[in-house]
Structure 1
């Protein structure tokens, strides 16, 4: 490690759009881990147009592409159809949270134990539903100087967005504190080659930093929850 500093770095990407193909290729090149938060109810077998982000058309990946595109990355539940969860009835809330987890597990043939609140929407009833459905954490969009350990694993906060102008300030602060740095975003926000180049520079610099370690949220949460005697064994 450099000067005794150490930092664990998390990145979390939402919505399962076609730009994730380029993103996952970039991350694999630099051996960077990431969590991808998906909405199985919004995807068809083939790619489908979803909306416009400014002048850019945003297309969702087809589910037939998922296994190949996201191979090797952590998959988390982002609800079935991306609604604002606090507005739902308890029946609809359970369906959005539980059914989507089952669908993702069936598709990827792996446990899905993380959740990401659509629009950052959360209240006590939503947290109960997410926990009851079998998740071990839920990511918010709330920014914190210290993100780990969270006071509540179902309100896991973030350090900043990937394009935050203060990105490196947040990074260095977490590094000085020997903490965790968590950034997030949507790959459709990368609307120019300059933005892609900037993201690649960030990924490359973090990978090259001998004090940095790429990690995923789920194992980080689980390690924090293990009894001391288990950790010693």
Structure 2
């Protein structure tokens, strides 16, 4: 190694090591700045990336959140702080990538579910990758925000309307496609729709795919899976119940 000495743009003198023999196909790059300036540049680029991410995230949230959900105040005494305390700590894992919130109406299940998604969107992990993007699965084509929310009733309507004509059919197909491929999905009010054979088959197909791909799913319901799936045919209801219980961390409210 040969020790070289250079002067940085900031005026500081620094040294660097140049090998005695360099590979002509892979020459050693000469550092153009001192270590302090290189570190300062790294910190500034990271700060800008975080600021850009926050701006992008807040812009997305303004269109994603329903009006009532956008008004959520975690300090409001009506907000279910106890449930939020549990859900806030929850993170998806390969073993249990799903979250289930079960309980009667008025317990803030949907509001808490949306807040967990808000936190996920705003979180920037240590590697610099956005947690909400499923990079390892290739689900971030076009750098889209791949998170969506749909009620079980709207999902059932989309199943019925997808074979129609015009804009209604297109919107239905888009909803079904996004629910299947989205990185994080909020499936609200499971059990509120009529489980016709077509709806039951589509719901099983959706959750079976998300189970196989370990895609994050947050679901809410007023009752446990064995209750709200009771009217489904056994060959669909039983495996669907198994998927929900196997993949989910469940918080049940009384």
- Where is the strand percentage greater, Structure 1 or Structure 2? 1
TM-score by shorter chain over 0.5: no
Query: TM-score when scaled to structure 2?
Result: 0.29
Q: Which has the larger radius of gyration?
A: 2
Higher RCO, 1 vs 2 (CA within 8 Å, ≥6 residues apart): 1
Report the TM-score, using the length of structure 1 for normalisation: 0.30
